[in-house]
Structure 1
Amino acid sequence: MPDRIRIESLELSSHIGVPEEERAAAQRLTASLVLEPIRAIPFLDDRIENTVDYFAVCECVKALSLARPRHLLETLAQEIAAELLARFPLRSVELELRKFILPDTAFVAIQLRRERAP
């Protein structure tokens, strides 16, 4: 198994939903991420610049979720994965994005995995 960084249930706010009324107020979302860094843990030399700064990843995801209104959870999930691969030294990103909107459900979610282009 490759070395990975896991971020579980990051709290987000986003103006998201198909009806305009749903997008009017920010909603609570959570994101869980599994990040595969380009550089393996044995080669980090205990230096933050050699790894993926997970604080910076969290701040990036939070900012992106608030950047603009969206209709689809799928759109936000794709944008998060693409931005993380563009900004951080990652081989791959796995993401589960949860939305707490439907009655009689704990949540709805989108799961995806994206890899850096070769």
Structure 2
Amino acid sequence: MTPLDEIHLSALRLTTHIGVPEEERAGSQVLVADVVLRVRSRFEAMNDEISATIDYAAVAARLQALAAERPRRLIETLAAEMAACVLEEFGAAGVTIELRKHILPDTEHVAVRLVRGD
């Protein structure tokens, strides 16, 4: 099977209220996401038409809005919601999301990674 072509959104900043302790959720935090969108058509079959691909600017804006919609305790929850959004609203064949939170001392970040779809 031929691998699907991909669009990468690297280091997308998401402002949200997230964390297990209520005090942590009280203030906004910036999480960083790498999002890989797997498209249904090969790039050469798109004939330079935006309607044949996934509008990555729209995806970025939608994921930023999703993150800001409501507080959550777990980054795992947000990552799963982001994946479902991309698959359902943008028709991606598949998605990989790595979501990073800068929270623990002596670490660069904590991350979760999920793969959904094809």
Give the TM-score category using the shorter length. Answer: over 0.9
* Structure 2, gaps ≥5 residues long: none
* Structure 1, gaps ≥5 residues long: none
Name 2:20's counterpart in structure 1: 18
Q: Deviations over 1:1-51 (max 9, x none)?
A: 321101100011110000000000110100101110112111111111110
- Native 8 Å contact 1:18 1:72 kept in 2: yes
Identical aligned residues as a percent: 47
Name 2:97's counterpart in structure 1: 95
| TM-score of the superposed pair, with normalisation by structure 2 | 0.95
| TM-score of the superposed pair, with normalisation by structure 1 | 0.95
4+ runs deviating over 3 angstroms: none
Q: Aligned partners of 1:39, 1:68: CA distance in 2, in Å? A: 34
| Matched pairs, number | 116
1:45 aligns with 2:47: yes
Q: Aligned partners of 1:38, 1:77: CA distance in 2, in Å? A: 22
